[in-house]
């Protein structure tokens, strides 16, 4: 049961120079987040929109990316439909003007996607009137493919229309994941080279570029999410997007140029015959709701290096630490698997776990912020609680557990009975719980409640490029 690790498009040249995206914005559908602005008259035939996103794959519902709303008969809607297909369509007076739905399904939660939708309905060739690019490459395979008529006026850039970001106009189908580098250009059909690049160092990997020099006129806007007090700020001085149910805690450093580990909603626990609970993740895939024997792992796995993360429990019956990316398949529950190493905060007392075997420990009990440090090079794992370590990770002594030799991913097992207990995991890119102090690793990456031990680093692509 191999785990997906890191989307290749976010790894190469992670240590190199070039344009750096500082921030993204977390969109947690459970919290009903949205942004909105009222449009003025603009160009309805030529426009381009580009954005980067990291997703919690759709399941059972559509995810709205943006929607332009005049009324129930005139609207433009862009979304990921259930299953992950990209869909965009426009209607005017109930007449469908265009509709494109991809055959491809975009449902990888491990890395960042860049979508560019570029429009010029004055083009003589129908397929040139609307172009979709994903990670720098044009998409040409569609399950539904209806292009607008020549010189068609799209339902966009009309005075008093509402532009909704990350939600439908009736506050439904909220997006779930992260957005970065959102750019809308009024009046131009641009190509991918305006927004990203393949360079000599990574000729197959699409990377963002500085978009501050683009022409922003009319309804154009650029969201870089660098102002935590105003996440809807239009960097170019236009009308900001109003924010609902978004605040400074939703600003993230998990970006297309430094991708952080999160929990993996695609991890399947079929190797464990009694691990049947549905994994319910939120808060950017860093919050795990209690469910009977639900198991999930991180999106990044390691075979070398030293790494640190935190997990906040508001109750017991959670096991956590690391699990081999190829579990032994020898246990009903993941905490008994011979590749499981870590801590079990059990209702009857604390335990350490070594290769699936438990050993009682009175230290690891109760509500707390637990710290995990792993040294894969020397097969050691430490666990701390509320700022105090058992042993000394920086000195390499007194480790809580001795690891075996595996490729490891962070691991959480909910063993409760679908109650109200939760686990909030903080890999540093966007904490699922409020940080009162703020600590980064020695490279300046991550945002943690407690100090990162010397020599240990957050799980992100820049650190993996150097140490992993």
Q: Where do the domains of the chain lie? A: 8-252, 281-467
Residue of 78, 100, 36 whose CA lies nearest to 173: 78
- DSSP conformation letters of 386-446: TTEESSBTTTTBS-SEE--SS-EEEEEEE-S-SSS-EEEEE-SSS-SS--SS-B--TTS--
Asked if the model's pLDDT at residue 9 lies above 70, the reply is: no
| Class (C level, CATH) for 8-252 | mainly beta
Q: Note the pLDDT tens digit of each residue in 95-105.
A: 999 999 999 99
Identical fold, 8-252 and 281-467? yes
Pairing assessment for the beta strands 318-324 and 340-346 based on DSSP bridges = antiparallel
Higher pLDDT, 82 or 397: 397
Residue of 173, 151, 157 whose CA lies nearest to 76: 157
Q: What is the pLDDT of residue 270?
A: 65
**CA–CA separation, 58 and 193 (whole Å):** 29
**CA–CA separation, 425 and 237 (whole Å):** 36
Residue of 295, 278, 242 whose CA lies nearest to 412: 295
pTM equals 0.94
Asked if the model's pLDDT at residue 188 lies above 70, the reply is: yes
Q: Note the pLDDT tens digit of each residue in 275-329.
A: 666 788 999 999 998 888 888 999 999 999 999 999 999 988 899 999 999 888 7
What single-letter DSSP state applies at residue 9? Answer: G
What average pLDDT does the chain have? 92
Asked if the model's pLDDT at residue 12 lies above 70, the reply is: no
Q: What is the pLDDT of residue 328?
A: 82
Asked if the model's pLDDT at residue 201 lies above 50, the reply is: yes
Q: What is the pLDDT of residue 203?
A: 84
Q: What is the pLDDT of residue 347?
A: 83
Higher pLDDT, 193 or 5: 193
Q: What is the pLDDT of residue 6?
A: 36
Residue of 81, 32, 78 whose CA lies nearest to 58: 81
Beta carbons within 10 angstroms of residue 452's beta carbon: 26
Asked if the model's pLDDT at residue 369 lies above 90, the reply is: yes
pLDDT band at 269 (very low <50, low <70, confident <90, very high): low
- The CATH architecture annotation of domain 281-467 reads Sandwich (2.60)
180 membership: H or E segment, kind and range:
strand 177-186
Residue that is written with structure tokens 């991708």 in the block = 259
Q: What is the pLDDT of residue 313?
A: 94
């Amino acid at each position: 049961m191999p785990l997906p690790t890191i989307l290749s498009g976010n790894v190469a040249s992670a240590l190199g120079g070039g344009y750096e995206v500082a921030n993204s914005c977390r969109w947690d559908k459970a919290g009903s987040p949205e942004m909105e602005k009222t449009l003025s008259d603009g160009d309805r035939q030529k426009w381009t929109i580009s954005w980067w996103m990291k997703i919690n794959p759709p399941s059972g519902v559509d995810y709205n990316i943006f929607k332009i709303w005049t009324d129930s008969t005139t609207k433009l809607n862009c979304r990921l439909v259930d299953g992950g297909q990209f869909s965009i369509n426009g209607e005017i007076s109930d007449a469908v003007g265009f509709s494109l739905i991809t055959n491809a399904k975009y449902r990888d939660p491990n890395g960042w996607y860049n979508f560019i939708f570029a429009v010029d309905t004055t083009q003589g060739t129908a397929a040139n009137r609307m172009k979709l690019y994903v990670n720098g490459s044009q998409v040409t395979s569609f399950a539904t493919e209806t292009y607008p008529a020549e010189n068609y006026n799209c339902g966009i850039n009309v005075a008093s229309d509402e532009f909704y970001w990350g939600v439908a106009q009736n506050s439904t189908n909220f997006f779930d994941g992260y957005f970065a580098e959102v750019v809308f250009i009024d009046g131009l059909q641009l190509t991918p080279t305006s927004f990203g690049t393949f360079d000599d160092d990574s000729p197959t990997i699409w990377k963002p570029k500085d978009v501050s020099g683009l022409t922003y006129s009319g309804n154009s806007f650029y969201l870089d999410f660098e102002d935590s007090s105003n996440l809807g700020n239009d960097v170019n001085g236009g009308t900001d997007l109003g924010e609902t149910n978004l605040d400074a805690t939703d600003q993230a450093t998990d970006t297309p140029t430094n991708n952080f580990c999160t929990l993996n909603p695609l991890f399947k626990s079929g190797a464990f015959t009694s691990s049947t609970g549905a994994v319910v993740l939120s808060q950017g895939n860093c919050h795990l709701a209690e469910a009977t024997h639900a198991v999930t792992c991180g999106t990044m796995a390691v075979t070398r290096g030293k790494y640190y993360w935190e997990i906040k429990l508001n109750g017991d019956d959670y096991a956590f630490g690391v699990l081999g990316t190829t579990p032994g398949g020898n246990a009903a529950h993941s905490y008994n698997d011979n590749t499981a190493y870590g801590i079990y905060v059990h209702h009857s007392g604390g335990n350490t776990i070594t290769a699936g075997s438990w050993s009682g420990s009175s230290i690891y009990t109760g509500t707390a912020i637990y710290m995990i440090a792993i040294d894969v090079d020397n097969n050691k794992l430490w666990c701390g609680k509320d700022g105090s370590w058992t042993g000394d990770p920086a000195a390499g002594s007194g480790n809580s557990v001795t690891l075996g030799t595996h490729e490891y991913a962070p691991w959480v097992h909910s063993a409760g009975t679908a109650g109200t207990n939760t686990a909030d995991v903080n890999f540093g890119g966007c904490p699922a719980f409020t940080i009162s102090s703020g600590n980064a690793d020695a490279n300046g990456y991550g945002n943690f409640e407690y100090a990162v031990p010397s020599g240990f680093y957050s799980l992100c692509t820049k650190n993996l490029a150097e140490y992993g």
